[in-house]
Structure 1
Amino acid sequence: MEILQLIGFAMTSVMLIMLVGKYNNSTKAFSLIIRLATVVLFMLFIVQQLGDVFRVIQELASKVNMESGYLNIILKIIGIAYIAEFGYQLCKDAGEEAIGSKIQLAGKVMIFVISAPVIFAVVEMVAGLL
């Protein structure tokens, strides 16, 4: 039911922004503060949820004896993907989609760089089978 609370909070924020933003330029600063507070609260919720997911993944990895180096790489990749998408969405909402697309590109490059050891390990394993 947390999703319903999030939607209710988001709708309340949107209504406040619409109400405050209609008057004049001085009240637009308040609507910006409401937007920022909403985003920060959503990020805190997301980070908390991801923390729970990461703990479950670590438990599963320990049960199947997965190397911790590979698990760290996987978690970093997931983190970069989510953060890059969030940054893109923020830029897009601010009307700066061009900057947001560069954030996405940077995230993809970082994911490739971080995943290189895994790619090399797979290539070595395949080459060893031939």
Structure 2
Amino acid sequence: MDIIQIVGLGLVATVLTLIVKEQKPMFAFMIAMITGIIIFLFLIGKIAEVIQILERMAVRANLNMIYLETILKMIGIAYIAEFGAQIVRDAGQGAIASKIELAGKVLILVMAVPIITVIIETVISLFPS
């Protein structure tokens, strides 16, 4: 049922945006941006549930929580960068949106270095010396 509410909100916002866009383009952009933020806020509870499930699974598997936290931060960066880029792209600024996406990718790569290092060290330790 959540998706019906989200789609309904999106459709109403789209109609409002199309009506307002001809007279006041800035208001049309604000409607689109606010709608995106409302949808994002609506989904935060669902995201929190997924994070709790992953944390419980990590505890049961005796995984180092630092790795799970890092992966969750990487996923968060990806979602936030995509959300920001979409809003900026909606405003007609494709070049800035591309830079936001690039920044997200670089930050994810930086955060991945410790995990990649551990994986490489583990693989190297499997080879006979």
Q: TM-score, normalized by length of structure 2?
A: 0.89
Alpha-carbon displacement from aligned partner over 1:83-109 (angstroms, at most 9, x marks no partner): 111111112111111111111111111
Match of 2:14 in 1: 14
Question: Identity, % of aligned pairs?
Answer: 39
User: Runs of 4+ in structure 1 displaced over 4 angstroms?
Assistant: none
Match of 1:68 in 2: 65
State the structure with bigger RCO (CA 8 A, min sep 6), 1 or 2.
2
Match of 2:115 in 1: 118
* Letter of the structure 2 residue corresponding to residue 84 of structure 1: A
* Letter of the structure 2 residue corresponding to residue 38 of structure 1: T
- The offset of 1:29, in angstroms, is 4.6
Q: TM-score, normalized by length of structure 1?
A: 0.88
Unaligned runs of 5+ in 1: none
Q: CA RMSD in A?
A: 1.5
Give, in whole Å, the separation in 2 of the partners of 1:44 and 1:108.
Answer: 23
Give, in whole Å, the separation in 2 of the partners of 1:94 and 1:36.
Answer: 9
Match of 1:42 in 2: 39
Change (3 A) 1:84 1:94: same
